Amino acid sequence: MNERSVTLRDVAKRAGVHPATASRALNEETRARGLVNSDTVARVMQAARELNYSPDPVARSLKTRRSHTVGVLIPDLTNPLFPPIIRGIEDRLAQSGYVALLGNTDNDPDREKLVLSGMRTRRVDGLVLATARRRYSVLSELNMGDLPIVLVNRVVEDRALPSVATDDAAGIAMAVTHLVSLGHTRIAHVAGPQELSTGAGRLSGFIMAMEAAGLEVGSESITYAENFSVAAGTKCCRELVAHKLHPTAIVAGNDMLAIGCYQALEESGLKCPADVSVVGFNDISFSSRLSPPLTSVRFPHYQVGIEVAQLILERIQAPTAPTKVLFLPPELVVRGSTAKVATP
């Protein structure tokens, strides 16, 4: 019943060897280095199997200083962007015997510091940050300089940290091109927070794409959201429609902002897409079920998670490996929220 959990000593005793030998026999690397006879290896493994031995990760961690754990910091799990990414991360980590420790920061620097220091004392082997501001000070403050780090969906300004993200500019360009092909010329942008890399990247992508299309982009065609929320989107969109430039299309910084636009348009009696087309970014689940179904820039969330985990594992193995910055291609999913511009 309450079988006292079987330890390495038990295995060793059963195999008739010293615990140290048993340890080496069960350890891939030392075995490979030929430090132990293949006969005894077989005997030990047999014993381990018979006893259904599994090593105590706690004891192991204490000695090896590795927890086989990586901390994953996100603003808020409730944001539908993150669950698929997290699943990707966890699935890939599990393959290598690692687990993820989640931490929600709610975009609050204090909370972020708290969570981070908690992760440090829990001795995570690496850190995945989906919360990075463009300039990142928290890390150095907390003296976790030696910890492997990978960013998700965010890039720091100087690209000094490895990261996985989609090409924001390319995605926005696809949106703009799509709108232009529908005949739109008065295209506005609801920009996300500029201290976040996505917010800034998408704004500059918007400007570049507009210029490439030969369209003017004045200051009145851009509004800045305080954060990536529905409410902020509504607020911004209200400004846009109130202004004299009557945009026929809006490129939102993400889907939340786009949904906010829906609401503001409704309030002002404008129809989407008949009067104003709207494009989002992220293609969160259920965006196809919105009314109207949202045209959005999609990128492979789950795959991003996989790649992130891959990267952090690599860096844990070889902390000094070159700093990879990986971009996954975006894709425009055209749905009902964009339409040909109404002939005036």
| Residue 311 tokens, joined | 């990267």
What are 32's two structure tokens? 């490979």
Q: Which two tokens stand for residue 216?
A: 């003017």
Contact code string over 246-265 relative to a copy of itself, x by CB under 8 A? -------------x--x---
Place of tokens 């069960």: 26
How far is Cα 90 from Cα 309, in angstroms, rounded to an integer? 8
292 binds a copy of itself per the rule CB under 8 A: yes
Number of residues that bind DNA (CB under 7 A): 30
CB nearer DNA, residue 61 or residue 185: 61
* 296 forms part of the interface with DNA (CB under 7 A): no
Cβ 116 vs Cβ 272: under 8 Å: no
CA distance 257 to 230: 5
Distance CA 109, CA 89 (A): 24
Q: Is 290 in the site for a copy of itself (CB under 8 A)?
A: yes
Interaction of residue 42 with DNA, rule CB under 7 A: no
- 101 vs 217, which CB is nearer to a copy of itself? 101
Whichever of 46 and 78 has its CB closer to a copy of itself, that residue is 78
Of 42, 45, 60, 87, the one binding DNA (CB under 7 A) is 60
Q: Of the listed pieces 16-24, 163-171, 288-296, 315-323, which binds DNA according to CB under 7 A? A: 16-24
Residue 83's binding partner out of a copy of itself, DNA, none, with CB under 5 to 8 Å set by partner kind: a copy of itself
Choosing among DNA, a copy of itself, none, which partner's interface includes residue 39 (Cβ < 5 to 8 Å by kind)?
DNA
For residue 333, which of 301, 292, 288 has the smallest C-alpha distance? 288
The item of DNA, a copy of itself, none sharing an interface with residue 290, based on CB under 5 to 8 Å by kind, is a copy of itself
Q: Which residues touch 224 (CB under 8 Å, ≥6 apart)? A: 191, 193, 194, 236
- 58 or 218: CB nearest DNA: 58
63 binds DNA (CB under 7 A): yes
- Cβ neighbours of residue 110 closer than 8 Å, sequence gap 6 or more: none
Q: 110-149: which residues touch a copy of itself (CB under 8 A)? A: 118, 121-123, 143, 145-146
- List of residues 6+ apart from 120 with CB closer than 8 A: 142, 144, 147
Q: Contact, 24 vs 71, CB < 8 A?
A: no
- Contacts with DNA by CB under 7 A lie at 5, 7-9, 16-21, 23-24, 26-27, 30, 34-40, 53, 55-56, 59-60, 62-64
